[in-house]
Amino acid sequence: MNISCKKEALSESISIVSKAVASRAVLNILEGIYIKAEENGKITLIGNDLEIGIESVIEGKVIEGGEIVLNAKMFFNIVRSMSDSEISIETRENGITTIKSGNSKFEIVGINASEFPFLPSVEAENSIRISKLKLKEMIEKTSFAAAQIDTRPVLCGCLLETLKSGLRMVALDGFRMAIRDVETDVHGLNFSVIIPAKSLNELSRILNDDGDVNFCFSPRYAMFEFENNKMVIRLIEGEYLNYRGIISDDFETEIVCNVNEIIAAVNRASLIIVNEFNRSPIKFKVEDGVLKISCETTAGTVNESIETERGLNPVMIGFSNKYLLSALHACGGEEIIFKIKAANKPAVIVPTEGDSYLHLILPMQI
């Protein structure tokens, strides 16, 4: 293989596919990036840790086609360190790869590409096109609520399902739940798949705000295609929880408040929570149209008051500051409705207009 290409394009492509490279793998080849050059000037880079695979294609000058696998971390650091805008890569039969740019020259040992695991094939017959901005928002507004480690693997994923007029993403971990809906043409399709939240977060990091994503899936994999990039994610098998049965419509009081104002108040109340292992709850007390926010720990106490609309029925409830802030930051908009039933029942956050999102939080014992 003998190629040359622009440093900026190569560096960006390596950065993208590296998100699918295993950091500590049993097989050395999984810690590498597969590079294939074709005579038509097409240069393909692939990272694959068997749970998530990413392919990125760039254009360059291909003097001689071929393929090689290079250690991802070393390759990226070498390319990033180059001072010239043009980089050339040449491999020999023994796998020794020469990387040159300007007055700099590296020779590193490559791995035979014949054993590299290629991306699974996913049929694109039933596909949905969605804007990158909408998909990115869905992920960022829900994935935080998925379980990090759980004996039930489905809770480590986000449910993606069709609605009549679009898509819904759901995540829950047993203590909180986040739901986000977006409108998009689903072409009459009806499906639900569970995608690992960790993989979706990697997808979100490489999505910018322009253009669309083409999404399709098979029984075992989901595929997202955009521009010259392709990401294939192994789906989580199993049945998702009946999240609709968790949501109640019976609430004793509703609080309408400004999102930024309540975030600021909860942040201030969190300043006295100094013990990570024995967190004191952030207390909400609704009385006479006023939301009183307080916290008491061994380090001190804090009290704040926020005027609210509604909130006519007195109630006191406590929340984890971490879960509460995650939900509030994900809301967006200017105002929210906080729906509370009782001190020992889940509270719900919804927008003042529409039904594009819902956040549910279990209370802490006061």
Domains for the chain: give ranges and CATH numbers. Answer: 2-115 (3.10.150.10), 128-241 (3.10.150.10), 247-361 (3.10.150.10)
CB half-sphere exposure, 7, CA atoms < 13 A = 15
pLDDT one-digit tens code per residue, 84-136: 899 999 999 899 999 999 999 999 999 999 999 999 999 877 789 999 999 99
- Those residues with Cβ within 8 angstroms of residue 276's Cβ, 6 or more apart along the chain or in another chain: none
- Lowest-confidence range among 78-82, 160-164, 320-324, 351-355? 351-355
Residue 14 has pLDDT above 70, yes or no: yes
Q: Say which residue the tokens 């390759």 belong to.
A: 75
**Number of residues written out for the chain:** 366
Ranking 13-22, 49-58, 268-277 by mean pLDDT, the lowest is: 268-277
pLDDT > 70 fraction of the chain, expressed in percent and rounded: 98
Closest CA to 103 of 84, 79, 88, 85: 84
Three-state SS for the chain is CEEEEEHHHHHHHHHHHHHHCCCCCCCHHHHEEEEEECCCCEEEEEEECCCEEEEEEEECEEEECEEEEEEHHHHHHHHHHCCCCEEEEEECCCCEEEEEECCEEEEEECECHHHCCCCCCCCCCCCEEEEHHHHHHHHHCCHHHCCCCCCCHHHHEEEEEEECCEEEEEEECCCEEEEEEEECCCCCCCCEEEEEHHHHHHHHHHCCCCCEEEEEECCCEEEEEECCEEEEEECCCCCCCCHHHHCCCCCCEEEEEEHHHHHHHHHHHHCCCCCCCCCCCEEEEEECCEEEEEEEECCEEEEEEEECEECCCCEEEEECHHHHHHHHHHHCCCEEEEEECCCCCCEEEEECCCCCEEEEECCECC
What are 141-197's pLDDT values in tens digits?
999 999 988 778 999 999 999 999 999 999 999 999 999 999 999 988 899 999 999
**Alpha carbon distance 18, 33 (integer Å):** 7
CB 39 within 8 A of CB 62: yes
Residue 278 confidence (pLDDT): 64
Block residue for tokens 């949501």: 247
Are 159 and 185 in contact by the 8 Å Cβ rule? The answer is: no
